[in-house]
């Protein structure tokens, strides 16, 4: 999550949706914010305490955390935006990310199908630290009553154009998006990873995202 009081925006960072590039592109704006020294100091103090002080939004905070912690007047006037991704494509990205960055977690997993069945196994102990994309993307943008709180939903599939639109609404010229964490070890078409049964399994697990964001297994 990235908050700018000077430029009046709140970026909600969901995993593996191009958010690292968006965050890095917008982060330099913080240096122009008169509140940045205080934010930086609080961030340092939070880190030194092992984040026991509760004064920092984690990178992948849900928007409801900001709604609860910020004054209502401030929260409501912020331009709040997020980027989301096709759930079937996102899980392929997740598979390659974990295999590349945390291979010890997948010592018992060889294929994508084994990975999905392991990841979505309801009997497996919940392990948020393994991969945040196990969470619903929709949970990052709604309140406790299911109301969408963001003003703009960008899509990974249209990252550059939607980022420019977000910047236009913020009122700034869109900086260049850095290329971050691009996978080079996967096929281009996520659909080739799936059987019909496996696609249905992911579709069932992430049904709220599919409904809210209008995704389909076969792009229209």
Instruction: List per-block mean pLDDT (blocks of 10 residues) for the chain, which spans 220 residues.
Output: 91 92 90 78 75 66 91 94 96 88 78 90 68 87 95 96 97 87 66 95 96 89
Q: Residue 219 falls within a domain, yes or no? A: no
Q: How high is the pLDDT of residue 181?
A: 55
CATH number of the domain residue 110 falls in: 3.40.50
Q: Residue 14 falls within a domain, yes or no? A: yes
Count of domains forming the chain? 1
Q: Residue 220 falls within a domain, yes or no? A: no
Q: Residue 54 falls within a domain, yes or no? A: yes
- Domain of 99, in residue numbers: 2-213
On whether the CB atoms of residues 90 and 155 are closer than 8 A, the answer is: no
pTM exceeds 0.95: no
Please classify residue 73 by burial: count the beta carbons closer than 10 Å to its beta carbon, then call 0-12 exposed, 13-18 middle and 19+ buried. Answer: exposed
Q: Residue 218 falls within a domain, yes or no? A: no
**What is the rounded CA–CA span in Å between residue 217 and residue 220?**
9
């Amino acid at each position: 999550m990235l908050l700018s009081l000077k430029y009046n925006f709140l970026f909600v960072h969901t995993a593996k949706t191009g958010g690292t590039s968006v965050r890095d592109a917008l982060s330099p704006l913080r240096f122009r914010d008169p509140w940045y020294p205080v934010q930086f100091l609080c961030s340092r103090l939070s880190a030194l305490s092992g984040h026991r002080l509760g004064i920092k939004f984690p990178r992948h905070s849900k928007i409801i955390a900001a709604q609860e912690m910020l004054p209502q007047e401030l929260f409501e006037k912020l331009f709040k935006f997020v980027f989301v991704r096709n759930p079937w494509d996102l899980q392929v990205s997740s598979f390659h990310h974990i295999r590349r960055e945390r291979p010890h977690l997948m010592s018992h997993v060889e294929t994508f199908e084994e990975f999905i069945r392991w990841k979505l196994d309801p009997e497996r102990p919940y392990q948020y630290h393994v991969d945040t994309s196990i969470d619903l993307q929709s949970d990052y943008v709604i309140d406790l009553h299911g109301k969408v709180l963001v003003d703009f939903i960008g899509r990974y599939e249209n990252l550059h154009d939607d980022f420019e639109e977000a910047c236009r609404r913020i009122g700034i010229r869109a900086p260049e998006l850095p290329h971050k964490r691009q996978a080079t070890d996967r096929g281009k078409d996520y659909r080739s990873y799936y059987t019909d049964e496996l696609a249905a399994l992911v579709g069932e697990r992430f049904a709220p995202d599919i409904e809210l964001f209008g995704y389909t297994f076969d792009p229209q």
